[in-house]
Structure 1
Amino acid sequence: MKSHILTAAIAAAAIAPVSARATDLTFASSLPQVHFWVGGFMDPFADVMEDSADVTFTRFYAGEITSVGRELDALTGGVVDAVAPLLAPYHEGAFPLTDVTQLPTIGTSSVEQTEAFLDLMASDVELADGKTFYEYEIGSKDIHAWPVAATAAYSISLAGMEPASADALSGIPLRSGSALHTVFLEELGVTPVTMSAAASYEALARGTIKGTILSVGDWKSYSLQDVLSYTITGVAVGHWGSYLAISDAAWSDLSDAERETWTETAHEIARQNAEGIDRQEGEVRQASEADGGVFVDVADIPADLRSRIEQASVNTWTRWIEETESAGHPGLETARLWAELTRKHGGALPEGVEAYLQSRD
């Protein structure tokens, strides 16, 4: 997929002096090309860079040279020069603040939360020790990073059941893909089962788990539309945030013009990727509904189940903040900043979150 981006940075790169040789970078993903972060971000980004700068990429996909949760090691160990996406939530303890994007929200989309994520990475608000979000999360890791598009809203999806009450969910096993999703599922009263999305198809088909927390558009990458039959919409169990990242060593090989082009291209492709993710969300939902899949807005589910989801959403914010603070990280200030950016871009917070944030003054 070729991009039509025309930015000042790219134009500047086009007239910059040509170096003696092109910089060839090893660019890898732990995910397959069908995934929206690979076919919709990694490849278009690389295509534009190759067209606009004296840079070429040798591309690897689907974990050929780096696997999920090992992207940072591959970068700092010199195995690869760049990765997309660096799946921050799978790097346990390494990116303590990035999970903030997974906090529950109301009425948010990929486009909205991608803009919020871009603002978060660019923010000059000091969160702790004089450090901004970017400086705290990225600055000491010998890499440079930019947001890929945020996923669409993560939803509660079930296989072969339609809960008639909150008690119907009590104790059932649901797939969790991150520490924060585990917190939400615990607060919901179900049994979290940690596994990657790629492993969940077989577990759902066998009945080992009864559902998952995942964006609907993500089903396409794992054929989950074949096994998931009931989804609660209208409340987002957050949006997964991850990064395009390049090692410091590879970054130093780029010219100033190439670095400017890289940054501008990353931002533009993230925005285009977000639009594509929202489209894919609608397409996968439409196809599922045509095959009998049921999608119910949270406002239309049984009152006690709605109340439990709403309370679990608020409790997830409070637990994440308190546990992050207990670990020595600025959870409260990060959550406040994310709440502000979410509202700025048209999203809403679960009722009770704002009161909690204000009560901590």
Structure 2
Amino acid sequence: MRPWRRRSLGTVVLAAATATVLALSGCGAVASKDQTHLKIAGIFPASHIASTAGVDVFTEELANGPGKPIDAEYWPSGQLGTVGDLTSLTRTGALDIVSVLPPNQSDIVPLAGVSDLPGFDPDTCVTSLALMRLLKPGGIIYEDEFEPLGLIPLWVGSVTKYEIWTANKQVRSPEDLRGMSIRSGGGVMDSTVSALGGSPVAIPSSDVFESLQRHTIDGAAFPASSIGTYSLQDVVKYATKGIGVGSGSWIFSMSADAFNDLEPEQQENIRAAADKTGRAQCEGIRADDKAAEKTLAESDVEFTELTDAESKAFSKNMPEIQQKWADGLDAIGKPGSETLQAYAEAVKAQEKEEGL
């Protein structure tokens, strides 16, 4: 059974995932006399910002680009497997473009987790576009991690401004976090929560509501834009404001083999569409952040305004957390410190470009 898709080349819904995997088992990008067909898969739902302001934008741009037309199908919601499965499917040629998640794939792309570190500019466009600078050919993360995997990063999405949301206890200092079990997004954020005194817990986002309700966890590190998605405003009483315990990024990447099979004009079409998508993605997240903050301001959640001294008690830990991350990678032969420095420089350059 073949999947169906909207004429806009946006989100594709599978009728049967198993049948689709079998259908994909042949080859990668399919080029016919009239057009090229790409297969895209991700773990995000069709309604997620990564799809609506990411993949949908990309496929629309491809459809309207120069050269031989490029058609695309998109399988969202992890219907074709986990993030690790999807990356593997690019190597077999079954998929052409997939979502890569550094927090969940630190075994193969640990350097890409640099943008998830706390202590950098929390603006989503600064975060995602600064990381993209290091993911282009010649960039340290591309050269060390993505090129060996046979992947070409296309665009980055970053949800920033992760704060601590708690069910019963107000957090005003790292000491308040001691002994508290805090749901973390994994990867770099686990280290951040631990460094600030909390105990990171791995729980799927969909289970956080019930875990808070049953008091099996004390709180969660979450961005404001995701609180309403899981109705967490109904089970939390307090939220920190301005601590910024990190970010969560994803990187949609294309098989280098599939890219190299395209005609030069089509390759330019891919690059141009990816650049526009990266900007559209972060602008969409910016809009989501503002809408969420407005909605939550009208909820019963109490946002904790910290004094300068209280803020410094958190922020003074950030450089140490960053360097510890870098040292850990240096110790296993990865260029952790070099990547940290390169990302810090990229953030400054992107801040200037954004006028911030």
Which of 321, 326, 329 is the matching residue for 1:324? 329
Among residues 46, 55, 74, which one is paired with 2:70 in the alignment? 55
CA distance in 2, matches of 1:21, 1:226: 53
Moved over 6 A (4+): none
Equivalent position of 1:138 in the other structure: 146
2:207, 2:334 → 1: CA distance?
Answer: 31
Task: Tell me the CA shift for residue 100 of structure 1.
Answer: 0.7
Q: 1:263 maps to what in 2? A: 271
Alignment match of 1:162 (pick from 160, 164, 170)? 170
Residue 164 of structure 1 and its aligned partner are, at CA, apart by 5.2
1:88 aligned counterpart, secondary structure: coil
Please report how far the alpha carbon of residue 69 of structure 1 lies from its aligned counterpart in structure 2 after TM superposition.
4.0
Tell which has more relative contact order, 1 or 2 (C-alpha 8 A, sep 6+): 1
The partner residue of 2:226 within 206, 218, 221 is 218
CA shift, 1:196, in A, is 3.4
Check 1:315–1:81 CA distance in 2 against 1; reply closer, same or farther (3 A cut).
Answer: same
Q: TM-score, normalised to structure 1's length?
A: 0.81
- Structure 2 residue 51 is matched with structure 1 residue 46: no
Cα 1:226/1:267, change in 2 over 3 Å:
farther
Q: Distance in 1 between matches of 2:173 and 2:306?
A: 13
2:114 is the counterpart of 1:109: no
The residue matched to 1:63 in structure 2 has which SS?
coil
Superposed, 1:164-243 pairs within 5 Å as 165-243=173-251
Residue matched to 2:292 = 284
The corresponding residue for 2:12 is none
Looking at structure 2, the residues matched to 192 and 165 of structure 1 have their Cα atoms a distance apart, in angstroms, of 17
Q: CA RMSD in A?
A: 2.5
Tell me: CA distance 1:166–1:86, structure 2 relative to 1, closer, same or farther (3 Å).
closer
Work out which of the residue numbers 249, 256, 273 in structure 2 matches 1:248.
256
Residue 108 of structure 2: aligned partner? 94
* 1:28 corresponds to 2:59: no
The SS at the match of 1:27 is: strand
Q: Percent identity?
A: 24
Separation (CA, whole Å) in 2 of partners of 1:107 and 1:27: 31
Q: Deviations over 1:295-340 (max 9, x none)?
A: 334446xx4x534422332221121011111111011111111112
Match of 1:78 in 2: 93
Provide the secondary structure at the position in 2 that maps to 1:288: helix
Is the CA contact 2:155–2:277 (under 8 Å) kept in the aligned structure 1? no
- Count of matched residue pairs: 323
**Range 284-293 or range 111-120, more displaced:** 111-120
Partners of 1:24 and 1:124 lie apart in 2 by: 28
Secondary structure of 1:21's partner? Answer: coil
Residue 160 of structure 1 and its aligned partner are, at CA, apart by 3.4
Amino acid at match of 2:106: E
Q: Which residue of 1 aligns with 2:27?
A: none
Aligned to 1:275: 283
- Residues 184 and 190, structure 2, Cα contact 8 Å, conserved in 1: yes
